[in-house]
A and B are shown apart, each in its own frame.
Chain A
Amino acid sequence: AQSVTQLGSHVSVSEGALVLLRCNYSSSVPPYLFWYVQYPNQGLQLLLKYTTGATLVKGINGFEAEFKKSETSFHLTKPSAHMSDAAEYFCAVSYNNDMRFGAGTRLTVKP
Protein backbone atom coordinates (compact mmCIF):
# COMPACT_ATOMS: atom_id res chain seq x y z
CA ALA A 1 0.00 0.00 0.00
CA GLN A 2 1.14 3.50 -0.70
CA SER A 3 0.81 6.58 1.41
CA VAL A 4 1.98 10.15 1.53
CA THR A 5 2.78 12.35 4.49
CA GLN A 6 2.95 16.10 4.17
CA LEU A 7 4.70 17.73 7.08
CA GLY A 8 3.07 20.98 8.07
CA SER A 9 -0.56 21.64 7.32
CA HIS A 10 0.16 25.35 7.02
CA VAL A 11 3.24 27.17 5.77
CA SER A 12 3.58 30.93 5.76
CA VAL A 13 6.31 32.80 3.89
CA SER A 14 6.99 36.36 2.89
CA GLU A 15 6.78 37.43 -0.71
CA GLY A 16 10.15 36.77 -2.34
CA ALA A 17 11.18 34.15 0.20
CA LEU A 18 11.97 30.51 -0.44
CA VAL A 19 9.05 28.12 -0.45
CA LEU A 20 9.61 24.61 0.88
CA LEU A 21 6.73 22.17 1.19
CA ARG A 22 7.62 18.76 2.52
CA CYS A 23 6.40 15.39 1.30
CA ASN A 24 7.47 11.92 2.32
CA TYR A 25 6.07 8.81 0.75
CA SER A 26 5.77 5.15 1.51
CA SER A 27 5.65 2.69 -1.35
CA SER A 28 6.62 -0.93 -1.81
CA VAL A 29 7.25 -0.39 -5.50
CA PRO A 30 8.99 2.40 -7.44
CA PRO A 31 6.71 5.36 -6.91
CA TYR A 32 5.19 7.79 -9.31
CA LEU A 33 5.00 11.10 -7.48
CA PHE A 34 3.01 14.24 -8.14
CA TRP A 35 2.42 17.70 -6.76
CA TYR A 36 -0.91 19.38 -7.32
CA VAL A 37 -2.16 22.85 -6.48
CA GLN A 38 -5.73 23.70 -5.57
CA TYR A 39 -7.22 27.17 -5.54
CA PRO A 40 -10.43 27.81 -3.58
CA ASN A 41 -13.49 26.00 -4.91
CA GLN A 42 -11.58 24.53 -7.82
CA GLY A 43 -10.26 21.17 -8.86
CA LEU A 44 -6.59 20.27 -8.74
CA GLN A 45 -3.96 21.33 -11.24
CA LEU A 46 -0.78 19.40 -11.83
CA LEU A 47 2.38 21.28 -10.86
CA LEU A 48 4.91 18.58 -11.66
CA LYS A 49 5.48 14.86 -11.64
CA TYR A 50 8.22 12.31 -11.22
CA THR A 51 8.03 9.01 -13.04
CA THR A 52 11.54 7.90 -13.98
CA GLY A 53 14.80 9.50 -15.00
CA ALA A 54 16.08 12.79 -13.68
CA THR A 55 15.35 13.15 -9.98
CA LEU A 56 15.07 16.93 -10.08
CA VAL A 57 11.79 17.78 -11.73
CA LYS A 58 10.79 21.23 -12.88
CA GLY A 59 7.17 22.21 -13.07
CA ILE A 60 4.99 25.17 -13.83
CA ASN A 61 5.10 28.55 -12.12
CA GLY A 62 8.74 28.15 -11.13
CA PHE A 63 8.22 25.17 -8.84
CA GLU A 64 10.50 22.18 -8.71
CA ALA A 65 10.82 19.03 -6.66
CA GLU A 66 13.57 16.50 -6.07
CA PHE A 67 12.98 12.80 -5.70
CA LYS A 68 15.29 11.40 -3.02
CA LYS A 69 14.91 7.67 -2.75
CA SER A 70 17.21 7.36 0.26
CA GLU A 71 15.04 9.80 2.17
CA THR A 72 11.73 8.70 0.60
CA SER A 73 11.03 12.36 0.00
CA PHE A 74 9.69 14.55 -2.76
CA HIS A 75 9.81 18.08 -1.36
CA LEU A 76 8.46 20.98 -3.39
CA THR A 77 10.44 24.21 -3.63
CA LYS A 78 10.30 27.60 -5.27
CA PRO A 79 13.12 30.13 -4.88
CA SER A 80 10.93 33.21 -4.60
CA ALA A 81 7.29 33.21 -3.51
CA HIS A 82 4.67 35.31 -5.25
CA MET A 83 1.36 36.37 -3.79
CA SER A 84 -0.35 34.30 -6.47
CA ASP A 85 1.26 31.14 -5.04
CA ALA A 86 -1.11 31.22 -2.06
CA ALA A 87 -3.12 28.01 -2.35
CA GLU A 88 -3.43 24.46 -1.08
CA TYR A 89 -0.76 22.02 -2.25
CA PHE A 90 -1.14 18.27 -2.37
CA CYS A 91 1.52 15.63 -2.79
CA ALA A 92 0.36 12.35 -4.32
CA VAL A 93 1.77 8.90 -4.99
CA SER A 94 0.41 6.59 -7.64
CA TYR A 95 0.81 3.02 -8.72
CA ASN A 96 -1.38 1.29 -11.26
CA ASN A 97 -4.13 3.90 -11.22
CA ASP A 98 -4.28 3.92 -7.43
CA MET A 99 -3.50 7.53 -6.51
CA ARG A 100 -3.29 8.58 -2.88
CA PHE A 101 -3.04 12.14 -1.67
CA GLY A 102 -1.36 13.72 1.30
CA ALA A 103 -3.35 15.82 3.73
CA GLY A 104 -2.36 19.00 1.98
CA THR A 105 -0.36 22.08 2.93
CA ARG A 106 -1.88 25.51 2.85
CA LEU A 107 0.64 28.09 1.66
CA THR A 108 0.14 31.68 2.76
CA VAL A 109 2.26 34.43 1.23
CA LYS A 110 2.64 37.64 3.21
CA PRO A 111 3.32 40.93 1.45
Chain B
Amino acid sequence: GAVVSQHPSWVICKSGTSVKIECRSLDFQATTMFWYRQFPKQSLMLMATSNEGSKATYEQGVEKDKFLINHASLTLSTLTVTSAHPEDSSFYICSVTQGANTEAFFGQGTRLTVV
Protein backbone atom coordinates (compact mmCIF):
# COMPACT_ATOMS: atom_id res chain seq x y z
CA GLY B 1 0.00 0.00 0.00
CA ALA B 2 0.88 3.64 -0.29
CA VAL B 3 3.03 5.32 2.33
CA VAL B 4 1.79 8.74 3.37
CA SER B 5 3.87 11.15 5.42
CA GLN B 6 2.33 14.15 7.11
CA HIS B 7 4.31 17.00 8.62
CA PRO B 8 4.37 18.40 11.21
CA SER B 9 2.84 15.91 13.60
CA TRP B 10 1.94 18.69 15.98
CA VAL B 11 2.08 22.46 15.94
CA ILE B 12 1.20 25.28 18.31
CA CYS B 13 0.62 28.72 16.88
CA LYS B 14 -0.69 32.09 17.96
CA SER B 15 -4.07 33.41 16.92
CA GLY B 16 -3.91 35.29 13.66
CA THR B 17 -0.97 33.41 12.23
CA SER B 18 -1.03 30.88 9.40
CA VAL B 19 0.06 27.27 9.57
CA LYS B 20 1.00 24.99 6.69
CA ILE B 21 0.60 21.23 6.88
CA GLU B 22 2.24 18.99 4.32
CA CYS B 23 1.05 15.63 3.07
CA ARG B 24 3.42 13.56 0.98
CA SER B 25 2.77 10.34 -0.85
CA LEU B 26 6.17 8.69 -0.65
CA ASP B 27 5.81 5.79 -3.04
CA PHE B 28 2.77 6.54 -5.10
CA GLN B 29 1.81 9.32 -7.46
CA ALA B 30 -1.47 10.58 -6.12
CA THR B 31 -3.63 12.65 -8.43
CA THR B 32 -6.09 12.98 -5.59
CA MET B 33 -5.54 13.51 -1.89
CA PHE B 34 -8.09 14.07 0.83
CA TRP B 35 -8.02 16.32 3.87
CA TYR B 36 -9.99 15.49 6.98
CA ARG B 37 -10.57 17.20 10.27
CA GLN B 38 -11.21 15.32 13.47
CA PHE B 39 -12.49 16.80 16.72
CA PRO B 40 -11.80 14.99 19.99
CA LYS B 41 -13.72 11.76 20.29
CA GLN B 42 -15.45 12.34 16.99
CA SER B 43 -15.24 10.93 13.51
CA LEU B 44 -13.35 12.24 10.52
CA MET B 45 -15.02 15.00 8.58
CA LEU B 46 -13.98 15.37 4.97
CA MET B 47 -12.90 18.94 4.38
CA ALA B 48 -11.81 18.85 0.79
CA THR B 49 -10.52 16.78 -2.07
CA SER B 50 -7.19 17.97 -3.36
CA ASN B 51 -6.68 17.56 -7.11
CA GLU B 52 -3.22 17.74 -8.66
CA GLY B 53 -2.89 20.72 -10.94
CA SER B 54 -6.34 22.10 -10.28
CA LYS B 55 -8.43 23.66 -7.56
CA ALA B 56 -9.50 21.65 -4.58
CA THR B 57 -13.09 20.58 -4.16
CA TYR B 58 -14.38 21.71 -0.79
CA GLU B 59 -17.16 20.15 1.22
CA GLN B 60 -20.16 22.24 2.10
CA GLY B 61 -19.50 24.49 5.05
CA VAL B 62 -15.70 24.48 4.71
CA GLU B 63 -14.25 27.94 4.07
CA LYS B 64 -11.94 27.66 1.10
CA ASP B 65 -10.32 31.02 1.82
CA LYS B 66 -9.46 29.90 5.31
CA PHE B 67 -8.27 26.41 4.47
CA LEU B 68 -6.05 26.81 1.43
CA ILE B 69 -5.15 23.62 -0.37
CA ASN B 70 -2.40 23.34 -2.93
CA HIS B 71 -1.66 20.13 -4.79
CA ALA B 72 1.34 21.26 -6.79
CA SER B 73 2.74 17.82 -7.61
CA LEU B 74 1.68 14.21 -7.70
CA THR B 75 3.35 13.57 -4.36
CA LEU B 76 2.60 16.68 -2.32
CA SER B 77 -0.50 18.43 -1.09
CA THR B 78 -0.47 21.23 1.45
CA LEU B 79 -3.18 22.57 3.71
CA THR B 80 -2.69 26.09 5.02
CA VAL B 81 -4.86 27.27 7.86
CA THR B 82 -4.91 31.03 7.44
CA SER B 83 -5.45 33.51 10.25
CA ALA B 84 -5.87 30.68 12.69
CA HIS B 85 -8.20 31.00 15.66
CA PRO B 86 -8.58 28.77 18.72
CA GLU B 87 -11.66 27.13 17.19
CA ASP B 88 -9.42 25.85 14.38
CA SER B 89 -7.60 23.71 16.91
CA SER B 90 -8.13 20.15 15.79
CA PHE B 91 -6.51 17.02 14.40
CA TYR B 92 -5.99 17.23 10.65
CA ILE B 93 -5.42 14.08 8.62
CA CYS B 94 -4.67 13.54 4.95
CA SER B 95 -5.15 10.43 2.88
CA VAL B 96 -4.59 9.06 -0.59
CA THR B 97 -6.23 6.28 -2.54
CA GLN B 98 -4.77 4.28 -5.36
CA GLY B 99 -7.95 4.31 -7.34
CA ALA B 100 -11.69 4.52 -6.99
CA ASN B 101 -13.20 2.14 -4.46
CA THR B 102 -9.86 1.18 -2.96
CA GLU B 103 -8.81 1.67 0.60
CA ALA B 104 -7.43 4.98 1.79
CA PHE B 105 -3.93 5.32 3.21
CA PHE B 106 -3.60 7.91 5.91
CA GLY B 107 -0.93 10.21 7.14
CA GLN B 108 -0.17 10.17 10.82
CA GLY B 109 -2.11 13.36 11.36
CA THR B 110 -1.27 16.85 12.59
CA ARG B 111 -2.51 18.17 15.89
CA LEU B 112 -2.97 21.91 15.62
CA THR B 113 -3.36 23.99 18.74
CA VAL B 114 -4.07 27.68 18.34
CA VAL B 115 -3.44 29.79 21.43
Give A residues with C-beta under 8 Å from B: 32, 34, 36, 41-46, 49, 51, 90, 92, 94-97, 99-104, 106
A-side interface mostly: strand
In this complex, how many residues of chain B approach chain A with their Cβ under 8 Å: the count is: 27
With a cutoff of 8 Å between Cβ atoms, the chain B residues found around residue A46 in the complex are 1, 103-105
With a cutoff of 8 Å between Cβ atoms, the chain A residues found around residue B100 in the complex are 95-97
Known: A41-B91, A100-B46, A104-B41. 9 other contacts (CB 8 A): A34-B103, A34-B104, A43-B107, A45-B106, A46-B104, A46-B105, A51-B101, A94-B101, A99-B104
With A90-B44, A104-B43 known to touch, is A95 a contact of B101 (CB < 8 Å)? yes
**CB-based closest 3 A-B pairs:** A43-B106, A32-B101, A44-B106
Residue of A36, A43, A101, A106 contacting most chain B CB atoms (<10 Å): A43
A106's nearest neighbour on chain B, judged by CB, is: B41
Check A101–B101 contact: CB distance below 8 A: no
C-alpha spacing A51/B102, complex, angstroms: 8
B-side interface mostly: strand
With a cutoff of 8 Å between Cβ atoms, the chain B residues found around residue A97 in the complex are 32, 49, 97, 100-101
A32's nearest neighbour on chain B, judged by CB, is: B101
Give B residues with C-beta under 8 Å from A: 1, 4, 6, 9-10, 32, 34, 41-44, 46, 49, 91, 93, 95, 97, 100-101, 103-109, 111
C-alpha spacing A49/B1, complex, angstroms: 13
Report the minimal beta-carbon distance from B74 to chain A, rounded to whole angstroms: 16
Report the minimal beta-carbon distance from A39 to chain B, rounded to whole angstroms: 10
With a cutoff of 8 Å between Cβ atoms, the chain B residues found around residue A36 in the complex are 106
